[in-house]
Structure 1
Amino acid sequence: MRTHFHWTELAEADRDASVAMGNFDGVHLGHQAVIDQARRADAPLGIVTFEPHPRQFFAPKAPAFRLMNAEARTHRLEKLGVEQLYELPFNADLAGMEAEDFVAEVLVRGLGVAHVTVGADFCFGKGRKGNVDTLRDCARRHGFGVTIAELVEMGGEEISSTAIRTALAEGRPRDAAQMLGHWHRIEGEVLHGDKRGRDLGFPTANMGVGGLHLPKLGVYAVKIDVLTGPHQGSYNGAASLGVRPMFGENKPNLESFLFDFKGNLYGEHLSVALIDYLRPEMKFDGLPALVAQMEADCVRARDILADL
């Protein structure tokens, strides 16, 4: 997959794609339906998306809402067979562009799209004044194809990023996975921490979760993909998502213990899939009680993951 961070000065080989357009936060089954519709056109499969998410641009101080960062979204789209990813910078210039100008400047002159597929509720342009009817009208004038994908439902309810956030916030990662079509993953670089886990016999890979919607805080059974470095591969494990109440006030992070693993992961990139919620965060009477609970958590996680 080739990734582009602007719409200008593209090589001819990177133009003329059939693109699915949207924010694709989570790349859930509804998003995948849009992508599958775009795949049907006789052209390379592309994605037009935005970074940062427009909602993040307009309300930077609002609570974090994203299901995945740009890195995780890129990995998921690549797994779906996307050939061209156009990750456009969402800034004041793009936010102020009228819908018709966006089509002419970005989609036509910039990307040279052959076909555009969007969901039925897609809006775009300054003030979100452009909708699917606007897109159809512009397509007729500029000579590219348009497909409007119907919204996808599950159990009579529309699949949405909002519904997935709710499932994760309530500690229901399997319900979230049903709507996503894949496990919910947190991806990022392994950072240096306080190294308390190593002293307790449970060395963990620590990752930041800033900017992401936080699932329910607590301990999870997880599957961990090491994406870079000499230890690349897949591992089972247990992870704690939270603020570590035993050790004072801390920013939330994700600490993953990889079963049967020895090695240095600092600076490497991990993808951690939340499989099952085991328990909430707890403050124990002392370190021996904490270690005993961690041992029990790992036994339970191993049993759960053995059945996958």
Structure 2
Amino acid sequence: MTLYTNWPAVPAVARGNAVALGNFDGVHRGHVHLLQSVRMARPDCALGVVTFDPHPRAFFRPQDLPFRLMRPEVRARVLAEHDVKHVVQIPFNEAFSHLEARAFVQDVLVNGLNVTHVACGADFAFGHRRGGDVALLEELLSEYGVGVSVVPQLSDISGPISSSRIRRLLQEGYPERAAELLGREWCIVGEVVPGDQRGRLLGFPTANIALGIHLEPARGVYAVRVTLPDGRVIPGVGNVGRRPTINDGKESRLEAHLFDIDEDLYGQTLEVALVELLREEKRFNGLDELKAQIACDAVQARKVLEDRSPV
């Protein structure tokens, strides 16, 4: 898979493909269904994705709290796992936000990418002030002989599978249910940064990772699986929150204690999968009580991870 961030300059190999349009935040089962629809419609073409960064919501509402399910580079990697050969990631900036719907189709999809087929969800909107809908997309692309597949949302017994539904489950403390919709466990990906070493003093050294653009899930203690840069997957216990016992409460972060290894992880990028919420965040009466609870949390996390295979 190749990622392109300058759509006017994509090479010939990235032109003339069948593409799926959308934000693809999380690359969940519904997104995979959309990709499969493109492949079935044009099995003779390479599979591409046209997406955006930053997410339009983040551009128009910068005051909102972070809400992304994955970082852009992780999204591109997961798309590649589903046989996407070309990801065109359009910078969503002031100029692009003013591009009219007809210009998006003509300038980007036709002249820029020379698409042979396009697929999107029924609620896809595009162009300045979301002025274009799927009916207009079909009308405009038909002028150039380009086919369009409008793909209904994939649903389960609880309704359509969507990024917003997955976000809600994570915020409510159900990562295992979110994993069912994603098709894999949800991960927070980030670089390990120095902390205050308090975890080491408590006997449970932790890898500290800022949430960054990630959605903040329910605060509390989780059983986690941590993937290291070399591919090893290490079980552990993690905390998402503001550490009320030591009055650290300025911003939430992820602290993960990896079981049975003692390595310098500073500067490394880890993928921390939240497997199950063990308990909510709470304040303890001193560090001794906190240390005892962490020991209990670690025992419980080991059992959860032994009993539950990765999704």
Q: Which of 197, 207, 217 does residue 199 from structure 2 map onto? A: 197
- Give the CA deviation at 1:279: 0.6
- Supply the AA of the counterpart residue of 1:288: D
Matched residue, 1:259: 259
| Cα distance in structure 2, aligned partners of 1:58 and 1:188 | 25
Q: Deviations over 1:163-184 (max 9, x none)?
A: 2122111111111111222211
Matched residue, 1:282: 282
| Cα distance in structure 2, aligned partners of 1:186 and 1:179 | 17
Report the TM-score when normalising by structure 1.
Answer: 0.95
Matched residue, 1:236: 235
Unmatched runs of 5 consecutive residues or more in structure 2 = none
- Give the CA deviation at 1:298: 0.9
| Cα distance in structure 2, aligned partners of 1:110 and 1:199 | 57
Q: Which runs of 4+ in 1 moved over 6 A?
A: none
Report the TM-score when normalising by structure 2.
Answer: 0.94
SS across alignment from 2:193: coil
Q: Deviations over 1:230-273 (max 9, x none)?
A: x5411111110011112212311001111111211111111111
Note the aligned Cα RMSD (angstroms).
Answer: 1.4
SS across alignment from 1:81: coil
Alignment of 1:1-308 (within 5 A): 1-40=1-40, 41=42, 42-226=44-228, 228=229, 231-248=230-247, 249-307=249-307, 308=309
SS across alignment from 1:32: helix
| Cα distance in structure 2, aligned partners of 1:124 and 1:265 | 42
- Supply the AA of the counterpart residue of 1:185: C
- Give the CA deviation at 1:156: 4.6
Q: Deviations over 1:81-125 (max 9, x none)?
A: 221111110011111111110011111111221211101111111
| Cα distance in structure 1, aligned partners of 2:57 and 2:206 | 33
Q: Deviations over 1:176-223 (max 9, x none)?
A: 111222211111111111121122221111111133221100000011
| Cα distance in structure 2, aligned partners of 1:179 and 1:16 | 32
* Fraction of identical pairs, as percent: 43
| Cα distance in structure 2, aligned partners of 1:85 and 1:207 | 27
Tell me, yes or no, if the aligned pair for 1:72 and 1:186 is still in contact at 8 Å: no
- Supply the AA of the counterpart residue of 2:223: A
- Supply the AA of the counterpart residue of 1:208: A
Q: Deviations over 1:39-59 (max 9, x none)?
A: 222211111110000011011
| Cα distance in structure 2, aligned partners of 1:218 and 1:75 | 29
| Cα distance in structure 2, aligned partners of 1:304 and 1:187 | 22
SS across alignment from 2:119: strand
Aligned residues: 305
